[in-house]
């Protein structure tokens, strides 16, 4: 897919999907390539512009309800992301972007059609219609990744009002199990448990999805700055075994150790 050209990283509509600094994920990916001596190009795609074909990685961030709908409508117009994924491109979608890549999501009191990249749906609540919706999920989130990914514990923060679940027969698998926070907000049984078992009295819930080269998550941070191994997983989708390991700066290692002590260690 790439040949010898620069890895092209598309940052999609940062004016609409950049409320929580998720555009920093593009910087992380580009720098981790350049530190390896590999060329990288960040393609900034402003709102209202067609999403380009031919990029290697597509990034969607978080945003409020109205911008989320505008972004989804713009992305859907030329379906470039769907074509790119079919050709082997990778996608990282965070929060509002995560909801948008599913089949449907709520905004402004309505249910909107998603892009259908992954088999998930999002609602304000999956509880009974007459029940009050769960509170907004705000704060630190810790996710233990699926062992198949070979990743260390993931850290970030979340700020969303949606609850997300995989559809019956969905492909892929959850990014991981939520150890602190809410994430998707649905326990394995499909209820509103989420979070740690002792937070809500139910089984731990999950966060995100990994389906082929598409990753969705509720983790902000930016998530790739706080979790460089996840960044390398995405880059590995593009470069495969040619991607040599990087030693993390001492400051990054110390920060992750401090967060683990503060958020995970009993």
The fold adopted by the segment(s) 7-123+131-264 is Rossmann fold (3.40.50)
pLDDT in tens, 206-240: 999 999 999 999 999 999 999 999 999 999 999 98
Q: Which of 55, 95, 160, 200 is catalytic?
A: 95
pTM: 0.90
In this prediction, residues 79-107 reach a mean pLDDT of 96
pLDDT in tens, 126-174: 888 888 888 999 999 999 999 999 999 999 999 999 999 999 999 999 9
Confidence band for 186, pLDDT divided at 50, 70 and 90: low
How far apart are alpha carbons 82 and 86 in whole angstroms?
6
Task: Identify whether 200 is a catalytic site residue.
Answer: no
Residues annotated within the binding site are 136
Percent of the chain having pLDDT more than 70?
91
Domain coordinates of the chain in residue numbers? 7-123+131-264
Q: Which of 55, 160, 200, 220 is catalytic?
A: 220
Residue 252 has pLDDT above 80, yes or no: no
Record the tokens describing residue 217, joined without a space.
Answer: 């998550």
Task: Identify whether 220 is a catalytic site residue.
Answer: yes
Record the tokens describing residue 129, joined without a space.
Answer: 């219609």
Burial class (CB in 10 A: 0-12, 13-18, 19+), 243: middle
Q: What is the pLDDT of residue 204?
A: 63
Residues annotated within the binding site for substrate are 136
pLDDT in tens, 27-59: 999 999 999 999 999 999 999 999 999 999 999
């Amino acid at each position: 897919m790439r040949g010898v050209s620069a890895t092209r990283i598309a940052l999609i509509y940062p004016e609409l999907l950049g409320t929580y600094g998720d555009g920093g994920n593009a910087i992380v990916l580009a720098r981790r390539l350049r530190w390896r001596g590999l060329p990288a190009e960040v393609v900034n795609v402003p709102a209202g512009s067609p999403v380009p074909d031919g990029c290697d990685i597509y990034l969607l961030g978080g945003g409020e309800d109205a911008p989320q709908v505008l972004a989804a409508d713009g992305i859907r117009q030329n379906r470039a992301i769907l074509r790119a994924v079919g050709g082997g491109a990778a996608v990282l979608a965070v929060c509002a972007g995560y909801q948008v890549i599913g089949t449907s999501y709520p905004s402004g009191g309505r249910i909107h059609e998603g892009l259908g990249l992954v088999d998930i749906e999002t609602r304000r609540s999956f509880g009974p219609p007459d029940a009050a919706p769960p509170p907004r999920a705000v704060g630190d989130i810790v996710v233990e990744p699926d062992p198949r990914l070979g990743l260390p514990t993931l850290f970030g923060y979340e700020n969303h009002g949606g609850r997300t679940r995989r559809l019956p027969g969905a492909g892929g698998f959850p990014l991981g199990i939520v150890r602190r926070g809410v994430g998707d907000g649905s326990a394995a049984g499909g209820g509103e448990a989420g979070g740690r078992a002792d937070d809500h009295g139910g089984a731990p819930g999950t966060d995100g999805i990994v389906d082929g080269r598409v990753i969705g998550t509720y983790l902000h941070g930016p998530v790739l700055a706080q979790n460089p191994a996840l960044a390398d997983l995405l880059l590995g989708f593009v470069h495969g075994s040619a991607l040599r390991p990087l030693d993390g700066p001492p400051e990054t290692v110390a920060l992750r150790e401090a967060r683990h002590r503060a958020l995970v260690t009993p």
